[in-house]
C-alpha cells in the first residue's frame, strides 16, 4: 500500500503561482495578477486560499474575469499579518494558491428567471462582485438590467476608478457614494442605503447581491425589506475565520453552515434566523 | 405666484398636501439659484430659511480649525435642506455649499413659523414631513458614524 | 476495517472460557497489529500500548461525576468493569499534531514540496465501547464522507482493527442510551466482546463482525457459545442500559436550541465556564483543528502543521477586526449548539454520543445534560406564548 500521501492531490497543499502584475489600488489595497498555467475555472463569488511562504494563508475572493482564468486576479486589503506582506509582493514573487472554494453568486438563477440584478458593494466588497459585472457585460443579452451601488469610506478608497466609469452602459446603472467627502469630491456623501432608497427596481423581479461589512448589509437588508424584496431574492457574502477551506477545521462555522462549503455566498432566506445574531 | 405654486407642488416634500395649503405656503416662497461653489447658508448665521432642492447637489460642511472643512453629507435634488427655523436660537448648524449649480425654492422661516402657528393643520403636515426626514437622516447618520469601512489595525 | 457482510454460520458467537485475553492479543500482534487499549496511568484509565494482559486495568472500576474521576478496586477481576476515561480513540485516527508538508525555497526562488507525516500504522483498538464506535462513525462522516476527504484520516482509518467491548457497567456521567448510541454495540467492529462474570465463571462471548475478525478468531481457541451465554450477554448489556448516570431529552433539540440562542442560561453557564477547552479535548467527536505555518530563520524552509484546536479559544473565531465570539457565553453556546443542533444540519446526526467525558472532565462540573434540560424547561418560545395570553 502506498504509504505516502500524493502531495499534488492533497487539498491542503498549495500550488505556487507567479505574480505577473501588481496594481496599487488605494493606500492599503493592492491587486495581484497571478499566472495560472492550469487556468482553473472558477465561478464569481468563490475564493482561493493564498499562501505566503512560511507566513500563513488567507481567504481572498476571486476578483478577475472568469473567462480568462489563466489570469488569476485577487484584490487584497492589507489589514493583517498575512495580507500586509502579500500586498507588498513584487512581480516575479511566488504565491501559494489553494482553491477555488465556496459557493457562487446566483448568475445561473438570474439568467433562468430573467430577472434584474441589484449589486450592493461596500468598501472592499466590490472586489468579489467585479467578476459578476464582467460576466454580465460579456453576455449582456442574457441578463436583465443591472444596478450597481457602491459605497466607500472616502474618495481615496474607491477601487478600480479607471474601470468603474466604463461600467456605465445601456441597461447598467452605476451609483457611488462615500461616507466622508473631501474638497475635490463632487459626488454624493452619505451612506449606501440612501442610494438604495432611490434606486428604482421591481422588488419581486430583481435579485440583490450584497458584499461588504456585515453592518452595512444588515442596514441594507432592512431597506430592501421596506421595498418589499423577499429574502429569497437577497444574496450576501459573509466572512469568518478560514483555515482549511475544506470543511474539516471547524473554524468558519456560523450555526449549521460552513462558510467554505455552504458559503461564502448565501441566500438570505436560508440563513435568516442566524444572520445578525450577536456573536454567533 | 401661479408658476411658483406649480413648481412647489412638484417637489416630493409636499406630496399629499392639498392645493389650498400649497397656495398658503407659496406666500412664504421664492425661486432661487446658486452658482457652483456658492454658499447657500453659513454656520452660525440666522437660520431663517428652508430650501426645497429642485436640481443640483449641496454639500454640508463643517470647518475644523487646523483640518479644514469637513464634508459631512450631500443633499440632493428632491430633498430638503434645513429645519433650524423651527427651533430657537434659529441658527444654522453647518455651512451648505452648492457643489453644482443649484435651483431651489427658498421658504422664509419666520413666515413659515407664523403660518404654522395660525393653521395647526398645516403645521402638523409640515412637522410630520420634517420629522420623517429627520428620522431618515438620523438612521443614515448612525450608519455613517459606525464607519464600517474603516480598517481596524 | 470496514465490516464485511456477516455469514451466519462462520460468524456465530463463540465463547472464550477464561478471562485471558493473551491469545487474542497475541493473534493480533502476530498479524502485524500494534495493540492499543485501556491501561492505568496516573490514576486514570487511558489508552496506550497493550503488550499483554498485565497492561489492562483488571479488577478496576471508575467513579465519575461532574468534575470528578477516581478509580476503585472491584470485588471481581473484570477486565472491562469501567466506563470511559479521558482519552478517546480519536488520538489515533485524527492525530493531535500532524505535519502536513514542508517546502523548500531555493535561492533562485524555486519552491519544492515534500510529504509530511504520512504514517498509517496497523493498529488494533482493544475495548472500543458502543459510544466510541458511534463517535468513530461520526468522525468518518465528517472527515471522509463529504466533498473533500481528509486523506490522512482516511489512510489511518483503513488500517484499524476494532475489538469492541459491550459495556457491563454504566458510568455516572453516561447517557449513551439517550443518544441511541449504546450500550449495545451494533456493527462497525471486527470482533465484539461481552464479558460474562457469574460467580466463579469468567469468560467472554465473542462475535466476529467482519471477515478479518473471523480470521483472527479462527486462530484462537474458543468454544461454541450456548444460547444461555448469548442471552446472558444481551441481558448484562440491557441491565447496563438501565443504569445510565444521566439522561438527555433529544426530542426536537435542534429547533429547541436554535430558538433559544438568547436564553439567559447561556449567561449562567458562562459565569462558571473557564474556557479551559477540556471538554473539546476529551470529546470523541470534536474535530476542530488549526493550521500553523512556520518558516525557519533563513526563510528557506517552511512547513505546515495541523493541530487540535478548540472553539473555546478566542482565536478560533478571529476575523481581521477581532473575534466574532468574544464572550465566553458565545463560545459555550457555540460548542453546545453545534454538538447537539447544528451538527444535525451539517452531518445528519447529533454530534454527541453520550459518553459523559465532557461532564467528568470539566473542572467546574458543567453538565451538558443539565444545561439542555434547563433550556428546555424554560424554552423562550413557551414563555413568549404565556405572556401573550
Q: Note the pLDDT tens digit of each residue in C189-241.
A: 999 999 999 888 999 999 999 999 999 999 999 999 999 999 999 999 999 99
pLDDT tens for C6-50 read 455 557 899 999 999 999 999 999 999 999 999 999 999 999 999
Mean pLDDT of chain A: 94
A248–chain C Cβ distance below 8 A for any pair: yes
What pLDDT does C109 receive?
84
* Cell matching residue C273: 465556564
- Put simply, whether C319 touches B (Cβ < 8 Å) is no
pLDDT of residue C245: 94
Q: Considering only residues C138 and B25, tell me which one the structure prediction assigns the higher pLDDT.
A: C138
Bridge partners of A95, per DSSP, are: A17
- Report pLDDT for C3: 47
Instruction: Give yes or no for residue C389 having a pLDDT over 60.
Output: no
Radius of gyration of chain B (CA): 16
Contact C266, C333 (CB under 8 A): yes
Give the rounded distance of the alpha carbon of B104 from its chain centre: 10
The pLDDT value recorded for residue A2 is 41
Extended beta strands in A123-214, E state? 146-152, 172-178, 188-189, 206-211
- Contact call for A182 and B76, based on CB within 8 A: no
Query: Within 13 Å of residue A44, how many CA atoms lie on the same side as its CB?
Result: 26
Pick the closest to residue C172 from C277, C79, C71 (CA basis). Answer: C71
Mark yes or no for CB contact C105/A79 under 8 Å. Answer: no
B147 and A212: CB-CB below 8 Å? no
pLDDT exceeds cutoff 90 at B64: no
The confidence score (pLDDT) of residue A1 equals 34
pLDDT at A6: 67
Apex CA C121: angle with CA C115 and CA C127, to 5°? Answer: 140
Q: Count other C-beta atoms under 10 Å from residue A81's C-beta.
A: 12
**If you ran DSSP here, which 8-state letter would residue B152 be given?**
-
Q: Is the pLDDT of residue B9 over 60?
A: yes
* Residues B65-79 pLDDT 10s: 777 788 999 999 999
Cis check: omega of the bond before C26, within 30 degrees of 0: no
| CA gap C325, C311 in Å, rounded | 9
Give CA–CA dist C304/A76, Å, rounded. Answer: 23
Least confident residue range of B73-87, C90-104, C246-260, C345-359? B73-87
Phi, psi (rounded to 5 degrees) for A185:
-75, 125
- Greater model confidence, A165 or A34: A34
What's residue B70's pLDDT?
A: 87
C289 and A16: CB-CB below 8 Å?
no
pLDDT tens figures, C243-293? 999 999 999 999 999 999 999 999 999 999 999 999 999 999 999 999 999
Tell whether the model's pLDDT for residue C2 goes beyond 80: no
How many Å apart are CA C307 and CA A11, to the nearest integer? 17
- Is the pLDDT assigned to residue A67 strictly greater than 70? yes
Judge: C322–B153 Cβ closer than 8 Å, yes or no. Answer: no
Categorize the per-residue pLDDT at C321 as very low, low, confident or very high, splitting at 50, 70 and 90: confident
Give dist(CA C331, CA C329) in Å, integer.
5
Q: Does C107 touch chain B (CB under 8 A)?
A: no
Q: Which residue has the higher pLDDT, C118 or C208?
A: C208
Please provide residue A128's backbone torsions phi and psi, each rounded to the nearest 5 degrees.
Answer: -70, -15
Residue B45: pLDDT over 90: no
Q: In the prediction, which pLDDT does C387 show?
A: 45
Provide the pLDDT confidence category of residue A54 given band limits of 50, 70 and 90. confident
Segment B11-24 mean pLDDT: 92
Instruction: Name the band, by pLDDT with cuts 50, 70 and 90, for residue A276.
Output: confident
Sequence-separated (6 or more) residues with CB below 8 Å from residue C70? C43, C62, C63
SS3 for chain C is CCCCCCCCCCCCCEEECCCCCHHHHHHHHHCCCEEEEEEEECCEEEEEECCCHHHCCCCEEEEEECCEEEEEECCCCCCCCCCCCCCCCHHHHCCCEEEEEEEEECCCCCEEEEECCCCCCCEEEEEECHHHHHHHHHHHHHHHCCCCCCHHHHHHHHCEEEEEECCCCCCCCCCHHHHCCCCCCCCCCCEEEEEEEECCEEEEEEEECCHHHHHHHCCCCCEECCHHHHHHHHHHHHHHHCCCCCCCCCCCHHHHHHCCCCCCHHHHHHCCCCCCCHHHHHCCCCCCEEEEEEECCCCCEEEEEEEECCCCCHHHHEECCEECCCCHHHHHHHHHHHHHHHHHHHHCCCCCCCCCHHHHCCCCCCCHHHHHHHHHHCCHHHHHHHHHC
- Per the prediction, chain C carries an average pLDDT of 94
Residue of B nearest to C322 (CA): B152
> pLDDT tier at A9 (50, 70, 90 boundaries)?
confident
Give the span between the Cα atoms of B139 and C40, in whole angstroms: 64
A40 secondary structure, DSSP code: -
pLDDT over 90 for what percent of chain C? 90
Q: How far is A46 from chain B (nearest CA, A)?
A: 22
Please check the confidence at residue A22 and state whether its pLDDT lies above 80: yes
Please check the confidence at residue B103 and state whether its pLDDT lies above 70.
yes
**Which region among B87-101, B127-141, C136-150, C241-255 has the lowest average model confidence (pLDDT)?**
B87-101
Q: Can you tell me the distance from the alpha carbon of C331 to that of C333, in angstroms, rounded to the nearest whole number?
A: 5
pLDDT band for position B41 (50/70/90)? very high
Which residues does residue A221 pair with via DSSP β-bridges, in sequence order? none
Classify residue C359 as left (phi > 0), alpha (psi -120 to 50) or beta.
alpha
Q: How far is B78 from chain A (nearest CA, A)?
A: 11
Alpha-carbon distance of A263 to A266, in angstroms, equals 6
The three-class DSSP label of residue A33 is: strand
Specify whether the CB–CB gap between C27 and C42 falls below 8 A: no
* pLDDT score for C60: 98
Between CA A112 and CA B14 the distance in angstroms is: 42
Q: How confident is the model at residue B47 (pLDDT cuts 50, 70, 90)?
A: confident
Q: Looking at residue B4, what DSSP letter applies?
A: H
Q: Which residues contact C77 (CB under 8 A, 6 or more apart)?
A: C19, C58, C59, C202
**Among candidate residues A118, A107, A108, the one with its CA nearest the CA of residue A205:** A118
From CA C270, how far away is CA C255, in angstroms rounded?
A: 22
Contact call for B152 and A189, based on CB within 8 A = no
A237 vs C349: CA distance, rounded Å = 27
Could B148 and A123 be called an inter-chain contact, meaning their C-beta atoms sit closer than 8 Å? Answer: yes
338-377 in C: which are within 8 Å (CB) of A? 338, 341-342, 344-346
Would you state the pLDDT for residue C9? 54
pLDDT score at A5: 58
Contact A54 C294 (CB under 8 A): yes
What average pLDDT does this structure show over C297-307?
94
Check: CB of residue A213 under 8 Å from CB of residue C291.
no
Q: Determine the distance from the C-alpha atom of residue A260 to the mean position of all C-alpha atoms in its chain, rounded to a whole number.
A: 14
Q: Kindly state whether C327 is in contact with chain A, defined as any CB-CB distance less than 8 angstroms.
A: yes
- Identify the structural domains of chain A with CATH numbers, from first to last: 2-101 (2.40.30.10), 107-237 (3.40.50.80)
Task: Give the C-alpha separation, C319 to C308, whole Å.
Answer: 19
Nearest to B143 among A182, A188, A193 (CB): A193
Spatial CA neighbour of B135 closest among A226, A268, A229: A226
Best mutation target among A29, A122, A154, A190 (most B Cβ atoms within 10 Å) is: A190
Residue of C346, C331, B136 whose CA lies nearest to A279: C331
Eight-state DSSP code of residue B56: S
Amino acid at each position: 500500500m502506498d504509504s505516502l500521501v500524493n502531495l499534488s492531490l492533497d487539498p491542503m497543499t498549495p500550488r505556487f503561482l507567479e505574480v505577473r502584475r501588481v496594481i496599487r489600488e488605494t493606500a492599503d489595497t493592492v491587486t495581484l495578477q497571478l499566472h495560472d498555467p492550469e487556468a482553473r475555472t472558477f465561478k464569481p463569488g468563490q475564493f482561493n486560499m493564498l499562501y505566503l511562504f512560511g507566513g500563513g494563508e488567507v481567504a481572498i475572493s476571486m476578483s478577475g474575469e472568469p473567462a480568462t482564468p489563466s489570469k488569476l486576479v485577487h484584490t487584497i486589503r492589507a489589514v493583517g499579518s498575512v495580507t500586509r506582506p502579500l500586498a507588498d509582493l513584487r512581480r516575479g514573487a511566488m504565491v501559494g494558491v489553494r482553491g477555488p472554494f465556496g459557493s457562487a453568486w446566483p448568475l445561473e438563477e438570474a439568467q433562468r428567471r430573467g430577472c434584474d440584478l441589484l449589486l450592493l458593494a461596500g468598501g472592499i466588497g466590490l472586489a468579489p462582485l467585479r467578476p459578476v459585472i464582467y460576466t454580465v457585460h460579456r453576455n449582456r443579452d442574457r441578463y436583465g438590467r443591472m444596478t450597481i451601488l457602491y459605497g466607500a469610506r472616502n474618495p481615496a478608497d474607491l477601487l478600480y476608478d479607471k474601470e468603474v466609469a466604463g461600467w456605465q452602459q445601456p441597461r447598467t446603472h452605476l451609483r457611488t457614494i462615500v461616507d466622508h467627502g473631501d474638497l475635490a469630491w463632487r459626488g454624493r456623501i452619505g451612506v449606501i442605503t440612501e442610494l438604495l432608497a432611490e434606486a428604482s427596481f421591481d422588488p419581486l423581479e430583481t435579485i440583490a447581491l450584497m458584499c461588504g461589512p456585515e453592518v452595512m448589509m444588515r442596514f441594507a437588508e432592512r431597506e430592501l425589506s421596506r421595498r418589499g424584496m423577499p429574502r429569497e431574492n437577497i444574496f450576501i457574502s459573509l466572512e469568518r475565520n478560514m483555515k482549511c477551506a475544506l470543511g474539516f477545521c471547524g473554524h468558519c462555522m456560523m450555526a449549521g453552515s460552513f462558510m467554505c462549503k455552504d458559503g461564502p455566498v448565501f441566500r438570505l432566506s436560508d440563513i435568516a434566523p442566524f444572520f445578525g445574531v450577536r456573536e454567533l | 405666484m401661479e408658476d411658483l405654486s406649480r413648481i412647489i407642488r412638484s417637489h416630493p416634500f409636499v406630496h399629499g398636501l392639498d392645493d389650498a395649503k400649497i397656495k398658503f405656503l407659496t406666500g412664504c416662497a421664492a425661486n432661487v439659484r446658486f452658482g457652483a461653489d456658492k454658499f447657500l447658508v453659513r454656520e452660525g448665521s440666522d437660520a431663517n430659511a428652508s430650501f426645497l432642492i429642485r436640481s443640483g447637489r449641496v454639500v454640508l460642511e463643517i470647518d475644523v480649525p487646523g483640518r479644514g472643512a469637513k464634508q459631512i453629507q450631500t443633499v440632493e435634488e428632491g430633498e430638503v435642506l434645513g429645519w433650524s427655523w423651527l427651533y430657537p436660537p434659529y441658527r444654522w448648524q453647518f455651512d451648505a455649499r452648492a457643489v453644482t449649480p443649484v435651483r431651489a425654492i427658498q421658504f422664509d422661516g419666520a413666515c413659515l413659523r407664523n403660518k404654522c402657528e395660525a393653521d395647526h393643520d398645516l403645521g402638523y403636515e409640515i412637522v410630520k414631513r420634517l420629522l420623517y426626514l429627520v428620522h431618515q437622516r438620523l438612521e443614515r447618520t448612525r450608519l455613517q458614524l459606525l464607519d464600517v469601512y474603516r480598517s481596524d489595525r | 476495517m470496514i465490516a464485511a457482510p456477516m455469514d451466519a454460520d462462520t460468524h456465530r458467537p463463540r465463547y472464550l472460557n477464561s478471562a485471558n485475553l493473551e491469545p487474542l492479543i497475541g493473534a493480533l500482534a502476530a498479524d502485524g497489529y500494534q495493540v492499543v487499549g485501556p491501561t492505568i496511568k496516573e490514576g486514570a484509565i487511558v489508552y496506550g500500548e497493550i503488550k499483554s494482559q498485565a497492561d489492562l486495568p483488571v479488577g478496576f472500576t471508575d467513579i465519575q461525576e461532574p468534575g470528578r474521576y477516581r478509580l476503585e478496586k472491584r470485588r471481581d477481576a473484570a477486565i472491562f468493569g469501567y466506563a470511559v476515561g479521558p482519552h478517546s480513540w480519536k488520538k489515533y485516527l485524527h492525530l493531535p499534531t500532524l505535519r502536513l508538508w514542508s517546502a523548500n525555497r531555493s535561492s533562485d526562488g524555486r519552491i519544492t514540496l515534500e510529504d509530511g507525516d504520512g504514517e498509517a500504522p496497523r493498529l488494533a483498538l482493544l475495548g472500543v465501547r458502543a459510544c466510541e464506535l458511534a463517535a468513530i462513525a461520526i468522525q468518518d462522516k465528517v472527515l471522509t464522507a463529504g466533498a473533500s476527504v481528509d486523506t490522512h484520516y482516511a489512510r489511518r482509518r483503513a488500517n484499524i482493527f476494532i475489538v469492541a467491548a459491550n459495556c457491563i457497567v454504566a458510568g455516572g456521567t453516561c447517557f449513551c442510551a439517550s443518544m441511541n448510541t449504546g450500550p449495545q454495540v451494533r456493527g462497525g467492529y471486527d470482533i465484539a466482546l461481552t464479558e460474562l462474570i457469574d460467580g466463579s465463571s469468567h469468560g467472554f462471548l465473542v462475535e466476529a463482525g467482519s471477515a478479518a475478525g473471523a480470521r483472527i478468531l479462527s486462530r484462537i481457541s474458543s468454544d461454541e457459545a450456548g444460547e444461555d451465554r448469548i442471552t446472558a450477554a444481551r441481558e448484562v448489556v440491557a441491565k447496563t442500559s438501565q443504569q445510565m448516570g444521566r439522561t438527555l431529552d433529544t426530542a426536537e433539540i435542534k429547533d429547541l436550541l436554535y430558538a433559544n440562542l438568547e436564553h439567559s442560561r447561556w449567561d449562567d453557564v458562562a459565569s462558571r465556564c473557564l474556557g479551559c477547552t477540556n471538554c473539546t479535548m476529551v470529546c470523541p467527536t470534536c474535530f476542530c483543528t488549526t493550521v500553523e505555518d512556520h518558516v525557519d530563520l533563513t526563510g528557506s524552509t517552511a512547513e505546515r502543521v495541523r493541530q487540535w484546536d478548540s472553539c473555546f479559544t478566542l482565536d478560533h473565531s478571529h476575523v481581521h477586526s477581532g473575534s466574532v465570539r468574544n464572550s465566553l457565553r458565545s463560545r459555550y453556546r457555540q460548542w453546545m449548539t453545534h454538538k447537539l443542533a447544528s451538527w444535525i444540519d451539517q452531518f445528519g446526526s447529533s454530534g454527541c454520543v453520550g459518553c459523559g467525558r465532557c461532564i467528568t472532565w470539566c473542572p467546574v462540573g458543567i453538565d451538558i445534560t443539565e444545561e439542555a434540560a434547563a433550556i428546555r424547561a424554560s424554552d423562550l418560545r413557551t414563555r413568549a406564548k404565556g405572556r401573550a395570553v
